Amino acid sequence: MADDGRSDDGYDADDHHDPRLTDPVHRTLAGVLDAARPNTDGAVADYIPELADVDPEPIAIALASTRGSVHEAGDSRVEFTIQSASKPFVFALALDALGLDTLTRHVGLEPSGEPFNAISLEASGRPDNPMINAGAIVATSLMGGETTEQKFREIRKGLSRFAGRELELDESVYASEAATGDRNRALAYLTHAAGTLAAPVDVATDAYFRQCALVVTTRDLAVMAATLATGGINPLTRERVISADAARWTTSMMTSCGMYDASGEWLLRVGLPAKSGVGGGIVALQPEQFGVGTFSPRLDERGNSVRGVEMLTTMSERYGLHMLDPRGEPLSPIASLDPDDGTTVALLRGDIRFAGMEEVLTRLLPLVNDDGCLVLDFTGVTRVGGGASRVFRGVVDLAGTNPDGRARVEIRDPDGVLRD
């Protein structure tokens, strides 16, 4: 039984039913967790004194769908500090506030291939990317306000919106990081000298230490990741936290840089955008589907949770979650064709993106002739990608009209799915 009154499987012993009977996803997550539990390799982050004393045994995994359901297993309500798992979310907030062009004048977008605390700076003094410490400190310096308190207020408010609840600061961990953070200060001084840091060194680093000491649970990490997976909308509160562009750009950076100098191997083996923290947490996501949080304090030599890596690797391999997995032959977006007295009605279906649009138009436009009419009926379509929408609408004008004045291509879109 966990200290918080929950069983080792992550459910409340006082519940009147066992969620394993009503939540098959919980059972799935519990199986992934059980496979990783025997692994006791690695060690806690003892270079931060306050983290050196944490219990190394807790282990948890949580999944939040983009529709707002949350599934948990293990010690998913145990609290820990977010540490570097905060980096993508602060980067996203800075992106939303300043835009990509402004932000990239201060921090690069390329993998460093080096440890998270390395001096990974371009010749100009710009950090390689925002997922390493140097780049993250620069991103923190760009947050609103002039003082540490103002910057941290904006960061805390933003990360709380990602989590869907107010996040608290662990004062002891903050003090411990501030007392031992000379390497991070050195990185900040280097970026300050190069003109890429947007605040005084003490302001930027102190806000960064506070940012890393925010307290989260595994469930929080899953919800935060799911907010990126939805394109910036928190699936629980339904609040838009960041723009869709900022969510996409942030997810891209997690894909290429989120697991430090293990990012290439991570992408190959696991294939999920992710970010780790030395507090033992990892956030990962499948765009448009779900966010995942894992927690286990023992770290490997790269600063990634040993059992967290194992859980996400197992989950990806068992359930085919790699973002580049071939999906096989997709279902045709053309559900049926109904020719009737010179008019052919094509009933379309599903989620139509660029490839689906190409199939529809390549197969059906040859049916258009001087006397007939092709009707594209979108009644059964759930969504159309923005680029595909523009092409579909343009076809109406491109096809022109018949001699009797009727459009050769007509569109039926009662639910307005062709909106950009």
- Please give the positions annotated as active site: 84, 87, 208, 260, 278
CB 290 within 8 A of CB 65: yes
CA dist., res. 72 & res. 60, Å (int): 8
Is residue 301 part of an annotated ligand binding site?
A: no
For the record, the structure tokens of 162 come out as: 């990602």
CB 159 within 8 A of CB 224: yes
For the record, the structure tokens of 342 come out as: 């010179």
Residues 6+ apart with CB under 8 A from 394: none
Concatenate the DSSP letters of all residues of 364-418 into one string: HGGG--SS-EEEEEEEEEEEE-HHHHHHHHHHHHHH-B-TTS-BSEEEE-TT-TT
Is residue 189 part of an annotated ligand binding site?
A: no
Tally DSSP H helices, then E strands, for the chain.
15, 11
CA dist., res. 167 & res. 159, Å (int): 8
* Cross-strand partners of 411: 376
Q: What share of the chain is helix, strand, coil (3-state, %, to 5)?
A: 40, 20, 40
Is residue 263 part of an annotated ligand binding site?
A: no
Concatenate the DSSP letters of all residues of 138-201 into one string: HHHHTSSSSSHHHHHHHHHHHHHHHHTS---B-HHHHHHHHHT-HHHHHHHHHHHHHT---S-H
Is residue 260 part of an annotated ligand binding site?
A: yes
Is residue 174 part of an annotated ligand binding site?
A: no
Is residue 208 part of an annotated ligand binding site?
A: yes
Is residue 184 part of an annotated ligand binding site?
A: yes
CA dist., res. 309 & res. 259, Å (int): 10
SS3 state of residue 11: coil
Burial tier of 68 (Cβ tally within 10 Å: 0-12, 13-18, 19+): middle
Q: Residue count of the chain, please give it.
A: 420
CA dist., res. 350 & res. 372, Å (int): 26
* Phi (first) and psi of residue 330, to 5 degrees: -75, 155
The annotated binding site for substrate is made up of 84, 133, 177, 184, 208, 260, 278
Binding residues: 84, 133, 177, 184, 208, 260, 278
